[in-house]
Structure 1
């Protein structure tokens, strides 16, 4: 007998994601629907709905932090067990590894999509008491070992994550931009700097704000910030001190419009291990929009900026160097446009979701 043709895909995501998450919904789910699969996403949300052929199946949102780790996975598992037995269950959170293991007990096909280096992430979580941090890290290492041995496939978003899993099970599917979303060129109307993403100190927020303040003393530059402050107390602390155009968390299409409306994209996380090996999707989205970038010279992502000569690399902890880069790109718009065009060309020709999605579809067809 030949292989049973898989037509149902059930994605599982925890409360850290929104139903229309960029990677889960806009990239993977829509690509699978376009290839003929029936796709649903089980996720904590306040209602069920269908969007572009993708069914969002909600479970109750957590009311307290611990519920995200305990109650939500249990609710997601119960709903998953009601889905077709021949579906592929595609996990998007390390918090749901126990759900995946339970599904394997019931002989379901399971894929784990590892977006981040979970053990390394845990080591940087200041809210976790130090006395439990090491056991917590090892607990997830054990879960990942079981996943690597038992699950049907492992997807990793970055090469560094692959080391935790058997190479025969791993498919690298990088989080590059959907080039079609950036097809229409919309030129900016003013001199502005943009950062969209998580707004935290480790991601260089203070350095970006201070560098913008220094650069603004020489030439007028608007700084557009889009994202969520972490911790939330940073919003009051920093917005009272620095002058910015704060847009809060932006839905996908609004994020793209905001990047297009800006002149220069910036992303300068601190040079800690988790960011040195990280592929920041916002860097590639700036490039896809044809924006010159100011990025950290530390870490693997710098190679993409160098390859295209798409911007200026800086010491992410040196505010004066960052300020000089801002001033240069705003003061010399012709040079900046050439850099932006080179970056855009590289994304459209080489580093885009359309190419990565071929690996996703190929993986599903192999199961």
Structure 2
């Protein structure tokens, strides 16, 4: 009942402004307001979906109904749908007349390369993120095993370190695994880092790690924002190829794609041993961010998507 009155108050308030351009962040019960505005005064509605989280229940506990079952309804009344990955574009294009691909790029004015060289000689490999489900835990444990294997191949633990920076419900479980199985390896677990400190932290590492293992609609739909953040700080990336990463990580140019445990281990060894390669890959990744994979480009693309229909009608 509370949601009903909040939506009603919102509708009455927004009607005072006349026709609007509305960007709806993911389909849910709140779509009722944009829908009525479209029907009442011709407001234009854009659906923005940046990952697949559409299997949750709505109308519970009265009716067991998943949001994804309403996609055709949303598609009927939305002017277009903006998605962050090719997997989403393929999945949602059957419901929406127009689906525009707009990856979640990086703010390259905020994430920038370090101005001075590192004084510490340790080569730091880093994964950042939220360990919020069992498959995320498995992704991180894969990275840890690959790192431990690299240390064994190098036969040295000095001068190398793995950072796991994040949080989530499964962070403690990963931390326990590190204590019980990998206590002899230089692995540092940081449970949370202030977002304001993240750019400076990424400037302090040497290689960014990204990993998606199990094929699923959720994992394949993720836009690899972390990869863009690594690149913006001129850091190379080691990544698996599942999902969007393969479109942005170019082996031997901006990083290394590695899908098996042995391949990932060897990639860590290779980048640890070759500082010049780390630098050249980081520079190439930074160049790509400065040219295209940044928030300025995303804003320009979004503006073009939103304004294009108006231009055709002669309203701009």
Range of TM-score over shorter length? 0.7 to 0.9
Q: How does 1:307-326 map to 2 (within 5 A)?
A: 309-316=253-260, 318=261, 320-326=262-268
CA contact (8 A) 2:126 2:164 kept: yes
Q: How does 1:122-141 map to 2 (within 5 A)?
A: 122=55, 136=65, 139-141=66-68
Work out the CA distance in 1 between the residues paired with 2:272 and 2:13.
Answer: 53
Q: Deviations over 1:40-83 (max 9, x none)?
A: xxxxxxxxxxxxxxxxxxxxxxxxxxxxxx97x65863563364
**Cα 1:345/1:228, change in 2 over 3 Å:** same
Q: 1:345 aligns with which of 272, 276, 287?
A: 287
Work out the CA distance in 1 between the residues paired with 2:100 and 2:6.
Answer: 25
Q: Deviations over 1:272-331 (max 9, x none)?
A: 133345431111221221111111134442232127721121125x1x432222122112
Q: Once the 2 structures are TM-superposed, how far is the Cα of residue 167 of structure 1 from its aligned partner?
A: 5.6
1:305 aligns with 2:249: yes
**Cα 1:184/1:300, change in 2 over 3 Å:** closer
Note the residue ranges of structure 1 that are not aligned, 5 or more in a row. Answer: 1-69
Question: Counterpart of 2:126?
Answer: 194
Q: 2:149 aligns with which of 205, 211, 214?
A: 214
Q: How does 1:350-361 map to 2 (within 5 A)?
A: 350-361=292-303
CA contact (8 A) 1:101 1:147 kept: no
**Bigger radius of gyration:** 2
Note the residue ranges of structure 2 that are not aligned, 5 or more in a row. Answer: 311-316
Q: 2:166 aligns with which of 218, 227, 243?
A: 227
- Report which structure shows greater RCO (CA 8 Å, sep ≥6): 2
Q: 1:328 aligns with which of 239, 258, 270?
A: 270
Q: Deviations over 1:211-252 (max 9, x none)?
A: 222333434322222222343552553353345323334343
Work out the CA distance in 1 between the residues paired with 2:230 and 2:256.
Answer: 13
1:104 aligns with 2:35: yes
Work out the CA distance in 1 between the residues paired with 2:67 and 2:266.
Answer: 43
**Cα 1:276/1:245, change in 2 over 3 Å:** same
Work out the CA distance in 1 between the residues paired with 2:291 and 2:195.
Answer: 22
Q: Deviations over 1:136-180 (max 9, x none)?
A: 5xx323322111111233211112223424564333221111222
**Cα 1:258/1:80, change in 2 over 3 Å:** farther
Q: Once the 2 structures are TM-superposed, how far is the Cα of residue 333 of structure 1 from its aligned partner?
A: 0.8
Question: Counterpart of 1:269?
Answer: 212
Work out the CA distance in 2 between the residues paired with 1:232 and 1:82.
Answer: 44
**Cα 1:280/1:184, change in 2 over 3 Å:** closer
Question: Counterpart of 1:113?
Answer: 48
CA contact (8 A) 1:271 1:299 kept: no
TM-score (norm 2): 0.76
Higher mean C-alpha displacement, 222-231 vs 235-244: 235-244
